[in-house]
Amino acid sequence: MPTDIQAPEILYGPLSPMLIVFAAACIGVLVEALAPAARRRGIQVVLAVGGLLAALVAIIVQRGARTLTAGDAIAVDGPTLFIQGVLVVLGVLSILLLAERGLDGSGGAVVARASTTPGSREDMRLADSDAMQSEVFPLAMFSLGGMMLFPASNNLLLMFVALETLSFPLYLMAGLARRRRLLSQEAAVKYFLLGAFASAFFIYGVALLYGYAGSVDAGKIFDATGDVGSNDVLLYLGLAMLAVGLLFKIGAVPFQAWTPDVYQGSPTPVTALMAACTKIAAFGAVLRVFYVAVGRDQWDWRPMMWAIAILTMVVGAILAVTQTDVKRMLAYSSVAHTGFILIGVIAVSKAGLSGTLFYLATYGFTTMAAFAIVTLVRDSSGEATHLAQWTGLGRRSPLVAGVFAFLLFAFAGIPLTSGFMAKFAVFQAGTAGGAGVLVVVGVVASAVTAFFYARVVVLMFFNEPAADGPTVAIPSALTATTIALGLAVTIVLGVYPQPMLDLADQAALFIR
Amino acid sequence: MNPSYYLFLAALLFTIGALGVLLRRNAILVFMSIELMLNSVNLTLVTFSRIRGTLDGQIMAFFVMVVAAAEVVIGLAIIMSIFRTRRSASVDDANLLKY
Amino acid sequence: MLNNYVPILVLFVLAFGFAGFSVGAATFTGPRRYNRAKYDAYECGIEPTPQPMGGGRFPVKFYLTAMLFIVFDIEIIFLYPWAVAFSQLKLFGLVEMALFIGTVFIAYAYVWRRGGLEWD
With CA atoms as reference, report the closest residue to A88 among A367, A276, A363.
A276
State whether A267 and A308 are in the same domain.
no
User: Strand, helix or coil at A377?
Assistant: strand
Q: Do B70 and C78 touch (CB under 8 A)?
A: no
**Maximal CA-CA distance, chain A:** 84
Q: Do B62 and C77 touch (CB under 8 A)?
A: yes
Q: Do C48 and B25 touch (CB under 8 A)?
A: yes
* Closest Cβ opposite residue A29 in set C90, C92, C106: C106
Last residue of a domain, one of A293, A323, A346: A293
Other beta carbons within 10 Å of A33: 17
State whether A203 and A309 are in the same domain.
no
Residues 6+ apart with CB under 8 A from A403: A369, A373, A483, A487
Give the separation between CA B66 and CA C73, rounded to whole angstroms. Answer: 10
| A33 interaction partners in chain C (CB closer than 8 Å) | 106, 109-110, 112-114
Q: What ranges in A347-476 are assigned the alpha helix state H?
A: 350-374, 393-396, 398-412, 418-432, 436-461
State whether A365 and A450 are in the same domain.
yes
CB contacts < 8 Å between B and C, how many?
Answer: 58
The answer to whether the bond into A2 is cis (omega within 30° of 0) is: no
State whether A372 and A508 are in the same domain.
yes
- Output the pLDDT for position A1: 41
User: Strand, helix or coil at A383?
Assistant: strand
Give the separation between CA A417 and CA A423, rounded to whole angstroms. Answer: 10
State whether A404 and A478 are in the same domain.
yes
- Output the pLDDT for position B88: 63
Inform me whether the pLDDT recorded for B99 exceeds 50: no
* Closest Cβ opposite residue A190 in set B45, B52, B94: B94
Annotate A224-256 with DSSP letters as a single string. Answer: HHH-TTS-HHHHHHHHHHHHHHHHHHHT-TTS-
State whether A409 and A449 are in the same domain.
yes
For residue A341, is it within any domain? yes
Residues of the domain holding A69 = 1-101
Phi-psi map region of A104: left, alpha, beta (phi>0 left; psi -120 to 50 alpha): beta
* Closest Cβ opposite residue C78 in set B62, B86, B88: B62
For residue A182, is it within any domain? yes
The C-alpha of C106 sits at a distance from chain A's nearest C-alpha, in angstroms, of 6
State whether A340 and A263 are in the same domain.
no
CB A347 within 8 A of CB A429: yes
Write down the mean pLDDT value for chain C: 79
User: For residue C74, how many C-alpha atoms fall within 13 Å in the half-sphere facing its CB?
Assistant: 18
Interface test with B, best of C72, C74, C77 (most B CBs within 10 A): C74
CB A482 within 8 A of CB A368: yes
Q: Which chains touch C (3 or more CB pairs under 8 A)?
A: A, B
The C-alpha of A355 sits at a distance from chain B's nearest C-alpha, in angstroms, of 33
* Closest Cβ opposite residue C103 in set A7, A26, A32: A26
For residue A453, is it within any domain? yes
CB A211 within 8 A of CB A234: yes
State whether A369 and A488 are in the same domain.
yes
- Output the pLDDT for position A363: 92
User: For residue A404, how many C-alpha atoms fall within 13 Å in the half-sphere facing its CB?
Assistant: 28
Residue type, A18: M
State whether A46 and A17 are in the same domain.
yes
Annotate B41-66 with DSSP letters as a single string. Answer: HHHHHHHHHHHHT-SHHHHHHHHHHH
> CB contact, 8 Å: A161 with chain C?
no
For residue A322, is it within any domain? yes
Give the separation between CA C94 and CA C81, rounded to whole angstroms. Answer: 12
| C103 interaction partners in chain A (CB closer than 8 Å) | 26
Number of domains in chain A: 3
The angle formed by the CA atoms of residues A150, A152 and A153, to the nearest 5 degrees, is 70
Q: Alpha carbon of A12 to those of A62, A67, A68, C71: distances in Å?
A: 11, 12, 12, 29
State whether A375 and A486 are in the same domain.
yes
User: Strand, helix or coil at A269?
Assistant: helix
CB A253 within 8 A of CB A316: yes
| pLDDT tens, position by position, B26-72 | 888 888 899 999 999 999 999 999 888 888 888 899 999 989 988 98
A-chain residue closest to B46, CA distance: A207
The residues with which A155 forms a beta bridge, in sequence order, are A217
The C-alpha of B98 sits at a distance from chain C's nearest C-alpha, in angstroms, of 21
Please tell me what DSSP assigns to residue B26.
B
Tell me the torsion sign for CA atoms A367, A372, A377, A383: positive
* Closest Cβ opposite residue C88 in set A2, A26, A115: A2
Residues 6+ apart with CB under 8 A from C119: C61
pLDDT band at residue B95 under the 50/70/90 scheme: low
CB A331 within 8 A of CB A259: yes
* Closest Cβ opposite residue B63 in set A119, A161, A187: A161
Last residue of a domain, one of A101, A119, A145: A101
For residue A142, is it within any domain? no
User: C97 or A113: whose pLDDT is higher?
Assistant: C97
User: Strand, helix or coil at A155?
Assistant: strand
For residue A132, is it within any domain? no
Instruction: List phi, psi (to 5°) of C94.
Output: -65, -45
Last residue of a domain, one of A101, A118, A140: A101
For residue A110, is it within any domain? no
Instruction: List phi, psi (to 5°) of A68.
Output: -100, 140
- Output the pLDDT for position C53: 53
User: Strand, helix or coil at A177?
Assistant: strand
State whether A319 and A449 are in the same domain.
yes
Cα A221 from chain centre: 27
Q: What is the pTM of this model?
A: 0.87
Q: Do B69 and C71 touch (CB under 8 A)?
A: yes
Other beta carbons within 10 Å of A119: 10
pLDDT band at residue C57 under the 50/70/90 scheme: low
Residue type, A382: G
For residue A239, is it within any domain? yes
What part of C 56-95 touches A (C-beta under 8 Å)?
60, 85, 88-90, 92-93
| B65 interaction partners in chain A (CB closer than 8 Å) | none
Residues 6+ apart with CB under 8 A from B14: A200, A204, B36, B37, B40, B41, B44
Give the separation between CA A232 and CA A11, rounded to whole angstroms. Answer: 35
- Output the pLDDT for position A95: 92
State whether A246 and A312 are in the same domain.
no
The C-alpha of A458 sits at a distance from chain C's nearest C-alpha, in angstroms, of 45
Give the separation between CA B81 and CA C46, rounded to whole angstroms. Answer: 13
- Output the pLDDT for position C49: 57
Q: Do B69 and C48 touch (CB under 8 A)?
A: no
Q: Do C60 and B80 touch (CB under 8 A)?
A: yes
The C-alpha of A204 sits at a distance from chain C's nearest C-alpha, in angstroms, of 21
Give the separation between CA A24 and CA A421, rounded to whole angstroms. Answer: 35
Q: Do B63 and A168 touch (CB under 8 A)?
A: no
- Segment-wise mean pLDDT, segments of 10 residues, chain A, 512 residues: 68 89 93 86 91 92 83 87 93 90 73 76 76 87 94 92 93 86 86 92 92 85 78 83 90 86 90 92 92 79 86 88 87 91 86 89 92 85 80 84 90 87 88 84 89 86 78 82 91 87 82 76
| B62 interaction partners in chain C (CB closer than 8 Å) | 77-78, 80-81
